[in-house]
A and B are shown apart, each in its own frame.
Chain A
Amino acid sequence: MDLLNALIAFLNYVFIPGVAYGSQLALGALGVTLVYGILRFSNFAHGDTMAMGAMATVLMTWLFQSWGISLGPLPTALLALPFGILFAIGLVLFTDRAVYKFYRVKKAKPVILVIVSLGITFIYNGVTRFIIGTNDQNFFDGERFIISAREFKKATGLAEGLSFKTTQGITIVTAIIVVALLFWFLNRTRAGKSMRAYSDNEDLALLSGINPERVVMITWIIVATLATIAGVLYGLDKSFKPFVYFQLLLPIFASAIVGGLGNPLGAIAGGFVIAFSEVTITYAWKKVLVYMMPESLEPSGLVQLLSTDYKFAVSFVILLIVLLFKPTGLFKGQSV
């Protein structure tokens, strides 16, 4: 019984939050890795693209809520999500046309584009705060839990409760669908294959009649979609706050690099590696250990390796370790 309680505590506080957070990071890292593979630079504006897309979704959600439209047990944000995605697509395509294209035509070196994307970051960041403010915004509605801790305790009679939030369920399901669609697109469709070809060898892609501007456009559309979905899922699960997305940039980049930049499979693996490292290192294991150890050996402290304030340090350290010992990442990078 104690072991079962320990398992439930582990699931409740480590596994489920880890999977949900990992899915969000994986979706974010996929966007970063696609830009890296095809547009060939590390897009620092990705976090704020997420913020912009999520902001548009939040505003649409409020509009729908004021009209009294809802999805019943599901959050209204899911209904607003397509509009947020459209907004983000328009935004990145406009940015590409107005800014990135200038450098792409000149074949500017990637480092130039990185700095350019940093400038875009500040603009997006400012616009987001200007429109929606700097505070936490709550846009979640609908049923809060799929399984709530109290019901679980009542049903099973265990001391530990297991709660599974609706947002966590939605995050995991959405991530699976999106990733499956993305891989199908990249590996099975003509447009997807042309993206991989362009990433592999631009000159040869051009000679094969692949239109680079079209490849770039498709890439931005996919990236904006992924960014908005990731941003909205994160916002639903935690809460929407513009600055959080800028901070998310570090774990997202860490995920993409740990997995191998340019490799979509790596981005997903990296997302989960980073998420689980963050959660396990900042979790106070006392609760789990109490059930597993004899009373005399029970820990008196919290058994928390790092305070949650340091969670970004975890991704940073993992990033450093990977760059030192396996710079191409767990999966071979640069092979979108």
Chain B
Amino acid sequence: MSDPYGDRGNKDLSVGNAKGMGSVIPKAGGTSFAAPGGPFLIGDSMTAGYGNGPDILHDCTIAVEEGEIAVIVGPNGAGKSTAMKAVFGMLDMRKGHVRLDGEDITDLSPQARVAKGMGFVPQTSNIFTSMTVEENLEMGAFIRTDDFSDTMAQVYDLFPILKEKRLQAAGELSGGQRQQVAVGRALMTQPKVLMLDEPTAGVSPIVMDELFDRIIEVARTGIPILMVEQNARQALEIADKGYVLVQGANAYAGTGKELLADPEVRKSFLGG
């Protein structure tokens, strides 16, 4: 049998509750060491893949400087989200390094990276749907032992709609509001860097513009942002730095304006 711990298609909910079960996150070594110099956060020449599968990323480099917004764009299946997950330690790194704020964190588990100051907003299942907005934020601050009420107030200032709906179950909110909860939850740890995986996936264009505005506001508070986006044009417009990935490798890199002006990038990825 290929998968002795699988269930061969069993869908009986009275037997077990597979919803929200989570995935196997690779075991990490757990130590970090000083590695000064370089950008604030960098995934340096990463080669990575899932489990025993083939390499998905090939020598891919992504970095974000302090106070900047870096955006990863590219066609479907280019490995944008995978690159993000690799930086966050959610898949097996085969080659390359991840450094944050002068520290090599390649061996750390995702949880340990959160403690080091990385905030990550996954693309899907990024909120606790059955819990209230306020409880979501509280859970975001779970690792903090100090008083986090001022951080919560900041998040509510940033996303006023959340304050209004703070006692409502997060699962009952609209798509755009859910994304705000998700970003707010990640901000509760007061991260040194915020990573967003397609924050505008599945929301209407109007909501998308609003979300981008909010993201710029977050960046203005001084938190560097690394973001994967499918709406390449809008994303590059707000980006200080852009990366175009193709088949798991860097194809183009530059400032947002440079990429928008680059005729090759325009022709291949921005629709002329």
User: Which chain A residues have a beta carbon within 8 Å of chain B's beta carbons?
Assistant: 36-37, 40-42, 103, 106-114, 190, 193-194, 196-197, 199-210, 257, 261-262, 323, 327-328, 333-336
Is the beta-carbon distance between A110 and B16 smaller than 8 angstroms? Answer: yes
CA distance A207 to B182 in the complex (A): 12
**26 A-B pairs (CB sep. < 8 Å):** A40-B16, A40-B17, A40-B18, A40-B21, A107-B22, A109-B16, A111-B10, A113-B16, A114-B15, A194-B139, A197-B128, A203-B22, A203-B23, A203-B125, A204-B122, A204-B125, A205-B22, A207-B114, A207-B122, A208-B142, A208-B185, A209-B115, A209-B142, A210-B139, A261-B17, A335-B130
Q: Which 5 residue pairs across A and B have the least CB separation, nearest first?
A: A110-B16, A202-B22, A209-B143, A109-B7, A108-B5
B13 within 8 A of A: yes
* Residues of the A chain whose Cβ atoms lie less than 8 Å from the Cβ of B17: 36-37, 40-41, 110, 261-262, 334
* Residues of the B chain whose Cβ atoms lie less than 8 Å from the Cβ of A111: 7, 10, 12, 15-16
Is the beta-carbon distance between A114 and B140 smaller than 8 angstroms? Answer: no
Instruction: Given A103-B5, A110-B16, A199-B20, output 4 extra A-B contacts at Cβ < 8 Å.
Output: A36-B17, A114-B15, A197-B142, A209-B189
Is the beta-carbon distance between B129 and A200 smaller than 8 angstroms? Answer: yes
Main secondary structure of the interface of B (DSSP, over half): loop
Main secondary structure of the interface of A (DSSP, over half): helix
Is the beta-carbon distance between B22 and A110 smaller than 8 angstroms? Answer: no
B168 within 8 A of A: no
Which of B22, B115, B143 touches A201 (beta carbons < 8 Å)?
Answer: B22
Is the beta-carbon distance between B140 and A208 smaller than 8 angstroms? Answer: yes
Per the 8 Å Cβ criterion, residues 1-49 of B in contact with A are 5-7, 10, 12-25
* Residues of the A chain whose Cβ atoms lie less than 8 Å from the Cβ of B14: 42, 257, 261, 323, 327
Is the beta-carbon distance between A208 and B5 smaller than 8 angstroms? Answer: no
Interface residues on B, range: 35 or more
CA distance A205 to B130 in the complex (A): 13
Given contacts A106-B5, A109-B18, A111-B7, contact A205 B139 (CB under 8 A): yes
* Residues of the B chain whose Cβ atoms lie less than 8 Å from the Cβ of A336: 130
Q: CB-nearest residue of chain A relative to B182?
A: A204
CA distance A275 to B135 in the complex (A): 35
Which of A41, A193, A207, A257 touches B131 (beta carbons < 8 Å)?
Answer: A193
Interchain nearest-CB distance for B175 vs A (Å): 17
CA distance A323 to B13 in the complex (A): 10
User: Which chain B residues have a beta carbon within 8 Å of chain A's beta carbons?
Assistant: 5-7, 10, 12-25, 110-111, 114-115, 120, 122, 125-131, 135, 138-140, 142-143, 185, 189
Is the beta-carbon distance between B143 and A208 smaller than 8 angstroms? Answer: yes
* Residues of the A chain whose Cβ atoms lie less than 8 Å from the Cβ of B135: 193, 196-197
Given contacts A112-B5, A204-B125, A209-B143, contact A196 B130 (CB under 8 A): yes
Identify which of A114, A193, A209 gathers the most chain B CB atoms within 10 Å of its CB. A209
Interchain nearest-CB distance for B195 vs A (Å): 11
* Residues of the B chain whose Cβ atoms lie less than 8 Å from the Cβ of A207: 110-111, 114, 120, 122
Is the beta-carbon distance between A209 and B131 smaller than 8 angstroms? Answer: no
* Residues of the B chain whose Cβ atoms lie less than 8 Å from the Cβ of A328: 13
Is the beta-carbon distance between A209 and B114 smaller than 8 angstroms? Answer: yes
Is the beta-carbon distance between B128 and A107 smaller than 8 angstroms? Answer: no
Is the beta-carbon distance between B13 and A202 smaller than 8 angstroms? Answer: no
Is the beta-carbon distance between A110 and B142 smaller than 8 angstroms? Answer: no
Q: CB-nearest residue of chain A relative to B23?
A: A203
Q: CB-nearest residue of chain A relative to B169?
A: A335
CA distance A210 to B128 in the complex (A): 13
Is the beta-carbon distance between B131 and A200 smaller than 8 angstroms? Answer: yes
Q: CB-nearest residue of chain B relative to A210?
A: B142
CA distance A103 to B16 in the complex (A): 14
Interchain nearest-CB distance for A75 vs B (Å): 36
Q: CB-nearest residue of chain A relative to B141?
A: A208
Q: CB-nearest residue of chain B relative to A109?
A: B7
* Residues of the B chain whose Cβ atoms lie less than 8 Å from the Cβ of A323: 14
Interchain nearest-CB distance for A119 vs B (Å): 15
CA distance A207 to B126 in the complex (A): 10
Identify which of B19, B21, B111, B139 gathers the most chain A CB atoms within 10 Å of its CB. B139
Is the beta-carbon distance between A194 and B125 smaller than 8 angstroms? Answer: no
CA distance A323 to B20 in the complex (A): 22
CA distance A206 to B140 in the complex (A): 10
Given contacts A41-B16, A109-B16, contact A196 B131 (CB under 8 A): yes
CA distance A210 to B111 in the complex (A): 9
* Residues of the A chain whose Cβ atoms lie less than 8 Å from the Cβ of B19: 334
* Residues of the A chain whose Cβ atoms lie less than 8 Å from the Cβ of B140: 208
Which of B12, B23, B24, B131 touches A197 (beta carbons < 8 Å)?
Answer: B131
Identify which of B5, B120, B125, B189 gathers the most chain A CB atoms within 10 Å of its CB. B5
Which of A41, A107, A197 touches B5 (beta carbons < 8 Å)?
Answer: A107
CA distance A327 to B11 in the complex (A): 13
Is the beta-carbon distance between A201 and B15 smaller than 8 angstroms? Answer: no
* Residues of the A chain whose Cβ atoms lie less than 8 Å from the Cβ of B23: 107, 203
Identify which of B17, B114, B131 gathers the most chain A CB atoms within 10 Å of its CB. B17
* Residues of the A chain whose Cβ atoms lie less than 8 Å from the Cβ of B24: 106-107
CA distance A92 to B131 in the complex (A): 28
CA distance A261 to B138 in the complex (A): 26
Q: CB-nearest residue of chain A relative to B17?
A: A40
Interchain nearest-CB distance for B166 vs A (Å): 14
